[in-house]
């Protein structure tokens, strides 16, 4: 057996470390990638969750009477849908919102994103207008304040005007029934409970 001089042993340990370092990095990256793949892209986190909606005041879409402002989003739980006439996915989810409007389950407001006035008006006239109020965000600044990544996006806003939930992508019947409406009901129950607790005896 050949004895290794003591002064050479640290070098051997260093070489072993160099050998295992790439394996360790690969393992960490693999875990991170695996976790990322399990995240639902439709529920991307928003920095505004739990915070008041940004202050804004938008004029109505052409041909509509009522615009949309931050003050309109206080007093009851509501939904805000960011849409555009040029958005293909917005067309996919539109029938879901038309049915929601007919049912009268929850107020739905529209935030029309970077659209030409005539195009937005024609789109709503031809497909139907499910919105209680619709604000024309022609330059997209209000949507940026809301942290919008793209269209469509739909927000659940509580009765105090706080953003409670954000859905990225088209809303399907399944998403509405299993994700959005249960949150609406929960927020209503919480608001009702708080009101009862605060009522004078």
* pLDDT tens, residue by residue, 59-113: 999 999 999 999 999 999 999 999 999 999 999 999 999 999 999 999 999 999 9
Considering the segment(s) 42-198 as one domain, its CATH architecture is 3-Layer(aba) Sandwich (3.40)
Residue 70 near residue 54, CB atoms below 8 Å? yes
Question: Tens digit of pLDDT for each residue in 148-194?
Answer: 989 999 999 999 999 999 999 999 999 999 999 999 999 999 988 76
Residue 67: count other Cβ atoms within 10 Å of its Cβ: 16
Q: Do 61 and 121 touch, CB atoms closer than 8 A?
A: yes
- Give the global pTM: 0.76
- Counting every residue written for the chain, the total comes to 201
How do the domains of the chain map onto residue ranges? Answer: 42-198
Q: Provide CB contacts within 8 A for 92, sequence distance 6+.
A: 170
* Both structure tokens of 197: 């607790």
């Amino acid at each position: 057996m050949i004895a290794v001089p003591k002064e050479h042993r640290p070098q051997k340990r260093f070489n072993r470390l160099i050998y295992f370092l790439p394996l360790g990095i690969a393992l960490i990256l693999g875990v991170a990638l695996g976790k990322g793949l399990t995240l639902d892209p439709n529920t991307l986190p928003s920095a505004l969750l739990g915070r008041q909606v940004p202050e804004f005041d938008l004029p109505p879409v052409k041909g509509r009477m009522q615009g949309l402002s931050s003050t309109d989003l206080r007093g009851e739980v509501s939904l805000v849908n960011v849409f555009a006439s040029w958005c293909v996915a917005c067309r996919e989810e539109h029938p879901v919102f038309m049915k929601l409007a007919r049912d009268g389950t929850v107020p739905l407001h529209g935030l029309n994103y970077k659209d030409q006035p005539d195009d937005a008006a024609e789109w709503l006239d031809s497909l139907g207008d499910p919105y209680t109020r619709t604000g024309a965000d022609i330059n997209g600044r209000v949507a940026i304040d809301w942290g919008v990544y793209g269209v469509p996006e739909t927000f659940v806003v509580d009765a105090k005007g706080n953003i409670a939930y954000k859905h990225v992508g088209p809303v399907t019947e399944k998403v509405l029934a299993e994700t959005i409406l249960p949150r609406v009901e929960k927020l209503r129950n919480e608001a009702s409970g708080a009101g009862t607790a605060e009522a004078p005896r």
